[in-house]
Every structure is written in C-alpha cells, then in structure tokens.
Chains A and B, each alone.
Chain A
C-alpha cells in the first residue's frame, strides 16, 4: 500500500514544480523570520527574489551542525517558542547539544512521512506495531509513534530495553511489525533463545530498523534469524527524525520524501553536486518545515542516489544505505557519538589532557559495547586503589551523562595506545558494520 499516492507516485515534472514552489516560499520565509539565515544569505549576496525554482538551490549557503551549535539554543528557529509543541535534544559535538523544535504542522509532517515509511516497509492499516525505539528526547520512539497514529495502527509503545518483556509482549499480543535499531533486533535473537523460544516462530513479519549504520550481511542475518523482512529507515533529528527515507520490499535503495525533504549529493570538499549514482555527502533542505527549517543541511552521511523508477511505483529518488561519514561521528546503539565529546569530559577531569581511545565492539551479536581506554599519567595516578577507582568512576559517570549510553573505562599505562605519526587513533571500531 502507498500511503500518499498522489505525492509518492507524482510524475517527475510535477514533483519538480512542487519543489520549486515550496523552495521559493521557504527562502522568503526564513529570510523574514530567522536573522541567522538572513545574515548567511546577505553575506553571499543572495536575495529571496534570486531563487525562482528548485534548480536555483545551489546558490544558497549550506547549513551545518556548527551553525546549530554556535546559535544554540534558538538561533536557527524561525518561530517563537510559543508556536512550538515539542522539542527534541540530541548531544552535540562538544558542549552544546543540538536542539530542534516542532510546530503542530511540523509534527503532522513527521507523522505523514513516518506513515509513508511504514507503508513503504509493508505495513497495512490493521497491523499492530511494537515500537522498541527509545521514547523521549531521542526522536526514534515518538517519530514512529506519530506515523503509526497517523496510519491508525495499534501501537505497543514499549520503548527500548527490557528484552525479555519485549519477547513476552510479542508472544502475547502478536504484532506483525517491529521497530528498533538493527543491533537491538539482533540482540533479541539470543534473548528469545534463552527463553526457549524459536525466533523464527515470532509474530514479527516486518522490521523497520534504523538510527545506526548496518550492512547487507547484518540485514541477511536478521532476516534469517527471525524469518522476517528487515527494512532500513533513515532520518536525523535536524531534519525531523526517522522518516526521511525508507526501503521498500524491493530493497533497491531508500525512498526519500523529496517533496518535503529536497536531497542533493555533493562532493564534501568542493560542495558541488556529484553525478547521479556517485558517492557523496547527502545534503537536505526541508521544504515545508516551520519551526527549524533547514537550508541545505550537511548531513555528513555518505550515500549515492538514483532517480530511476522503482518497481514499487514510487517516483521518489532513492538513496543507498549510508556508506560512511565525512566527519568522525560514530553511531553506538543508535546514539551519535563524537570523539570530541569524550575529549571534552577528560579535559574537565583534573584539568589533564590524557591520551585516550574509544573502542567499540559488538561481541557475538550482543549490543554495542564502548570502552574508553585512558592512559594513566602522573596527574591522575595515585598509590591508593580507592582513588584510582574513584577516577575511573568519575570518568565513566561523566561520559555516560554526556553520551546517554553506558561505557566501560579501562586505565592503561602510558604509551599503550598506538600513535601513528605522533597522532593517536581515537576510535577503534571493531564492529562488522
């Protein structure tokens, strides 16, 4: 089933006209309402009247995470707080978090694109969905919730965690749809087996998985283990959260809602578009958002894109799975982590600048495990074990509070962390992504 047939199967020419109309009014909207955008446009001498159609989008400046951080909290907003109905916060690269806000229409838009995504994955109106993404400031849980509400599905808002309970509820209520991160989906396989349940007998037939990068191999493994269809969903809180793009059962890329989120794929060095089908950085403009519209937002995600028609009938462009990042961000259990956040915490402890390394591993289908390896120098060393444990705990607690995920801290001797050309490798990712 296609949720919004007129839009999702719109002929390319009509879609282009719609995008053009929307871009023209968006540019006028942000120029009038958001001083930061006005300043950015003025700096390069672009006036709203210069933007006459979607092809003029390349004249506009990029927006980056840095812009969000520097103008925290309200600088990129185009509406006053009284117009907002919801706010989500994700951790920023250093110091300030990233704050996004939604007007009532923005929430409706989110519900709309999420309903499209769920249908795209294969959901039907009379389905029940188990939403095992975290609810709260993280956009995963609520995004799925709004989409499922819009579609009229029966929702089990169980949120993440409590694995045995997830399995029990699945057995008792028999939902056909499961939504969670791919690693959690795989993690639940062992839990089911431990409970004496054959995962292949589960009621889940469709899984909508996202918020972290995952490979074709992992997808295959999930499908085999649970005997279901595992589909990939893409989104980021700066754009709206999940629902930006979604894989259909033909699995030839993720259908991107380009009538509302206009995509470009650029060379991250030059900022110029790359030819269709080539890898580049995904840049998105939110054509209809009101609260925090994004003009050419640099997602830092590397993808390729195609406009070739898909067998499912949708005319929207399709992106590949995420192939990498143009920055050092890593995704752990669906949470974005920047090495600079950890550096910031370590700097704040005893005012030192110890060498550290972040080791991420996913042992035998278990969840991602993060270990922070810290070299012990004279400033943090003590002859008393209790002081060393206190330092270890302090580092652990502060990093956990910044990242919102559990970490282990391991203290090691100086020069243990390998340095190449004097520079330590900050992240060791042992996961097979």
Chain B
C-alpha cells in the first residue's frame, strides 16, 4: 500500500520552515517523518503527516505551494544490514530509488523508512512479494 507524502516548496529564507510548521501545528496536523532537499536558492520539504489532504488545504489558504506524492513506507529491521537487505531486493528488480528518509518514531521494533520510487506500484508489489512489510495510511495514523 502506498502512502501520501506532503511536499512543500520553500525559498531559502530565515524563519520560513518555522512558519510552515506553525501552519501545520495550528491545523492540528502531526508530522511523522520529514526531510529537506535543498538547492542554492530553494528547498523542498518532504513530510509524512497524519492528515495530508487537510495539510495541502491549509497551505493553499496561506499561498504556499504544496502537493501530494505517492511514496512507499517500508519496515526495515533495526539491525546491521537491515537496510541493505531491502535495497538488495530493489536492485535485483531494477527499481530506482529517487530518495528516501526515515520516520521519527520506530514501528514496533523496526525502523520505518520512506521510499520515493519512479514506479511506486511496482515497488509495492516487489517488496510485498519478497515478504517486506509495507505500511499503509491506517498504520501511520495510529503512530
């Protein structure tokens, strides 16, 4: 199952990240995972939140450009070689990872990672048939 990632366009300006987080806070939206990709002049804030559609709506009201992207959240054993094991499956199936990042919280005893694929549907199929646990929206709300 795929989940929605919330992506936000941000200029490299002092205090901008704070403003964005404040909007989410005021809307009662909780951040589960996040990462920032930065360039010289702008950045893209990528997050997994508990209410993605509501988050986009609040950003739109504040004239902040945001959208939702399909990503795959994968449970990875929190042991040496855990991530390598997952990546091995992806490599064998010729699946390219655009980027990835980790959740703040652990999921049971495992680490939880977010993967952005070009082909999220195929990635989901490959991972689940290899026995990897892919987390759904529902599981995230419960975190």
A170 nearest CB across to chain B (Å): 37
State whether A385 and B39 are in contact (beta carbons under 8 Å apart), knowing that A376-B65, A413-B9 are contacts in the complex.
yes
Chain A residues closer than 8 Å to B66, beta-carbon distance: 378, 381
Q: Does A416 contact B (CB under 8 A)?
A: yes
A412's closest neighbor in chain B, by CB? B11
Docked CA distance A411–B9 (Å) = 10
- Known contacts: A413-B64, A415-B63. The answer to whether A384 contacts B39 by CB under 8 A is no
Is residue B69 contacting chain A, with contact meaning CB distance below 8 A?
Answer: yes
Q: Is the CB of A413 within 8 A of B67?
A: no
What residues on B are CB-neighbors of A33 within 8 Å?
A: none
A156-B116 Cα distance, complex, nearest whole Å: 58
| Cβ contacts under 8 Å, B10 to chain A | 413
* Interface pair B37/A378, CB less than 8 Å apart: no
Q: Pick the contact of B65: A381, A385, A389, A410 (CB < 8 A).
A: A381
Q: Which residues of A contact B46 (CB under 8 A)?
A: 383
A window 51-85: CB within 8 A of B: none
* A411 nearest in chain B by CB position: B42
A389: shortest Cβ distance to chain B, in Å?
7
Q: A381-B9, A383-B5 are in contact. Are A414 and B64 (CB under 8 A)?
A: yes
Is the C-beta of B44 less than 8 angstroms from some C-beta in chain A? yes
Q: Is A377 close to B, CB under 8 A?
A: yes
Q: Give complex CA distance A415, B41 in Å.
A: 17
Interface bracket on A: 10 to 19
The answer to whether A388 has its CB under 8 Å from any CB of chain B is yes
B40 nearest CB neighbor, chain A only: A410
Instruction: Choose among B11, B39, B41, B116 the residue that contacts A383 (Cβ–Cβ < 8 A).
Output: B116
Q: Are B42 and A388 in contact (CB under 8 A)?
A: yes
Which chain B residues (44-99) contact chain A, with CB distance < 8 Å?
44, 46, 63-67, 69, 98-99
Contacting pair B67 A414 (CB below 8 A): no
Asked if residues A413 and B11 are in contact (CB atoms below 8 Å), the reply is: yes
A256 to B116 CA separation, bound complex (whole angstroms): 66
In angstroms, how far is the closest chain A Cβ from the Cβ of B5?
Answer: 7
**B interface, over-half SS:** strand
Chain A residues with CB below 8 A from B65, complex form: 376-378, 381, 413-414
Interface of A is mostly: loop
User: In the complex, how many angstroms separate the beta carbon of A382 from the nearest chain B beta carbon?
Assistant: 8
Tell me the A385-399 residues at the B interface (CB within 8 Å).
385, 388-389
Nearest-neighbour CB distance to chain A for B16, whole angstroms, equals: 8
Interchain nearest-CB distance for A177 vs B (Å) = 43
Closest Cβ–Cβ distance, residue B109 to chain A (whole Å) = 30
Alpha-carbon gap, A384 to B43, bound state (A): 10
Chain B CB count within 10 A is highest, among A377, A413, A414, for A413
**Which residues does chain B contribute within 8 Å of A377, judged by CB atoms?**
65
- Closest residue of chain B to A380 (Cβ to Cβ) is B65
Q: List the A side residues contacting B37 at CB < 8 Å.
A: 385
Q: Are B44 and A383 in contact (CB under 8 A)?
A: yes
Which of B5, B44, B98 contacts A388, CB < 8 Å?
B44
Proximity string of chain A (343-385) to chain B, C-beta cutoff 8 Å, 1 when within and 0 when not: 0000000000000000000000000000000001110011111
Name the residue of chain A whose CB is nearest to the CB of B37: A385
Known: A376-B65, A414-B63. A381 touches B39 (CB 8 A): no
Give CA–CA (A230, B26) in the complex, Å.
63
Chain A residue numbers with a CB within 8 Å of B64 are: 413-414
Partner of A384, one of B11, B42, B63, B98: B98
Q: Please, which residue of chain A has its CB at the minimum distance from the CB of B41?
A: A410
Most chain A CB inside 10 Å of its own CB: which residue of B7, B39, B65, B69: B65
Contact A383 B42 (CB under 8 A): no
- A382 contacts across to B, CB distance below 8 A: 7, 44, 67
B39 touches which one: A378, A389, A414 (CB < 8 A)?
A: A389
Report whether B67 and A383 are in contact in the complex, using a CB–CB cutoff of 8 Å: yes
Chain B residue at minimal CB-CB distance from A416: B11
Q: Which residue of B lies closest to A389 (CB)?
A: B39
Q: Could you tell me if B67 and A378 are in contact, using CB atoms closer than 8 angstroms?
A: yes
CA distance A378 to B6 in the complex (A): 13
Residues of A within 8 A of B67 (CB): 378, 381-383
> Inside 8 A of B11's CB, which chain A residues have their CB?
412-413, 416
- B103: min CB distance to chain A, Å: 17
Kindly state the separation between the CA atoms of A376 and B63 in the bound complex, as whole angstroms: 11
Alpha-carbon separation in the docked complex, A414 to B69 (Å):
20
Nearest neighbor of B6 in chain A, beta-carbon distance: A383
Residues of B within 8 A of A410 (CB): 41
Identity of the chain B residue whose Cβ is nearest the Cβ of A414 in the assembled complex:
B63
A332 to B105, CA, bound (A): 54
CA distance A412 to B116 in the complex (A): 24
CB distance from A21 to the nearest CB of B (A): 62
Min CB distance A272 to B, Å, is: 47
What are 16 A-B pairs with beta-carbon distances under 8 A?
A: A376-B9, A377-B65, A378-B66, A381-B7, A382-B7, A382-B44, A382-B67, A383-B67, A389-B39, A412-B11, A412-B42, A413-B9, A413-B10, A413-B11, A413-B65, A414-B65
Besides the known contacts A383-B7, A389-B39, A413-B10, 15 further A-B residue pairs in the complex with CB atoms under 8 A apart: A376-B42, A378-B66, A381-B7, A381-B65, A381-B66, A384-B98, A385-B39, A385-B44, A411-B41, A411-B42, A412-B11, A413-B9, A413-B63, A413-B64, A414-B63
Nearest first, the 8 A-B pairs at minimum CB distance are A383-B7, A415-B63, A414-B63, A383-B69, A381-B65, A376-B9, A385-B37, A381-B9
